[in-house]
Amino acid sequence: AQSVTQLDSHVSVSEGTPVLLRCNYSSSYSPSLFWYVQHPNKGLQLLLKYTSAATLVKGINGFEAEFKKSETSFHLTKPSAHMSDAAEYFCVVTGPLYNFNKFYFGSGTKLNVKP
Amino acid sequence: DAGVTQSPTHLIKTRGQQVTLRCSPKSGHDTVSWYQQALGQGPQFIFQYYEEEERQRGNFPDRFSGHQFPNYSSELNVNALLLGDSALYLCASSLVTYEQYFGPGTRLTVT
């Protein structure tokens, strides 16, 4: 069985300060992990993915995430927040990408960026 | 290159009716997945189609059914609509099961 827990439903940061969005996962086998962003009234956009290669994954718009198997975590970070980063972020877990697997989304974290 | 497209954008139906939502995948993609996103929640996986067959299914009743056509486009059908079916329905396409690209969604309101 697989599941995702996003530890914060809302995060608020000031522009120019670091961002940390936390995600813990549960998986019975080697997971593939993703972060997606959803801006209001827009579709979901892929930020980055982990598929058992490098544990530190770099994505678009300066975001990165580190896969920590011992902690079953895949936290999303960005060194300096921009106003345009305000959106909802979803962590996703699935199985190895060579199988047909179900994709499990977390409940989301809404990021607010203050000027 | 057109991304994933969905139609219609918005839809209002009455309880007990049936609805069909449509999705065209990104060019070159052969796998389509459908999700339901209720207000304030993360998307929930409904099912996934590849080579015109349902390959995986989430925890949704049989009222939810789908189809994939030879050109890889897909339909989601929901019968006997309930108020609780009101949600944003998202379609995602991928090459086999690699990262998924999402469409803008269809907002379904059941009254």
Interface test with A, best of B49, B100, B106, B107 (most A CBs within 10 A): B100
Task: State mean pLDDT over A35-55.
Answer: 88
State the pLDDT at residue B63: 97
Q: Are A114 and B70 in contact (CB under 8 A)?
A: no
Q: What is the pLDDT of residue B97?
A: 60
Cβ–Cβ gap A49/B99 under 8 Å: yes
Burial class of residue A97 in the structure, from the number of CB atoms within 10 Å of its CB (0-12 exposed, 13-18 middle, 19+ buried) = middle
- Cα separations in angstroms, B24 against A8, B7, B103, B109: 34, 9, 9, 22
Stretch B59-65: mean pLDDT, rounded? 96
Residue B110 belongs to some domain of the structure: no
Of A46, A101, A106, Cβ closest to residue B42: A106
Alpha-carbon gap, residue A22 to A14, rounded angstroms:
18
Q: Flag if B42 and A101 touch (Cβ within 8 Å).
A: no
Q: Given an 8 Å threshold on Cβ–Cβ distance, is B33 in contact with A103?
A: yes
Per the structure, the count of domains in chain B is 1
What's the pLDDT tens digit per position in A81-107?
Answer: 999 999 999 999 987 666 667 889 999
> Does residue B38 carry a pLDDT above 90?
yes
- Region of B96 on the Ramachandran plot (φ > 0 left; ψ -120 to 50 alpha; else beta): left
Amino acid B61: pLDDT: 97
- pLDDT value at residue A61: 94
Q: Is B92 exposed, middle or buried (0-12, 13-18, 19+ CB in 10 A)?
A: buried
Domain assignment present for residue B80? The answer is: yes
pLDDT of B64: 98
How much is the average pLDDT of A4-28? 95
User: Structural domain of residue B14, as residue ranges?
Assistant: 5-105
Residue A69 token pair? 């198997």
Q: What is the mean pLDDT of residues B28-39?
A: 94
- The mean per-residue pLDDT over the stretch B37-61 comes to 93
Number of A/B CB contacts below 8 angstroms equals: 53
pLDDT in tens, B11-31: 999 999 999 999 999 999 999
CATH code at position B26: 2.60.40.10
Residues of A in contact with B102 (CB under 8 A): 36, 43-45
pLDDT for A101? 74
Give the pLDDT score at B103. Answer: 94
How is chain B classified by DSSP, letter by letter? ----EEE-SEEEE-TT--EEEEEEPPTT--EEEEEEE-TTS--EEEEEEETTEEEEE-S--TTEEEEE-TTS-EEEEE-S--GGG-EEEEEEEESTTSS-EE---EEEEE-
Residue B111 lies in a domain: no
3.30.429.10, 2.60.40.10, 3.40.50.1240, 3.40.50.450: which CATH number matches A3-114? 2.60.40.10
Give the mean pLDDT of chain A: 91
Of the CA atoms within 13 Å of residue A3, those in its CB half-sphere come to 5
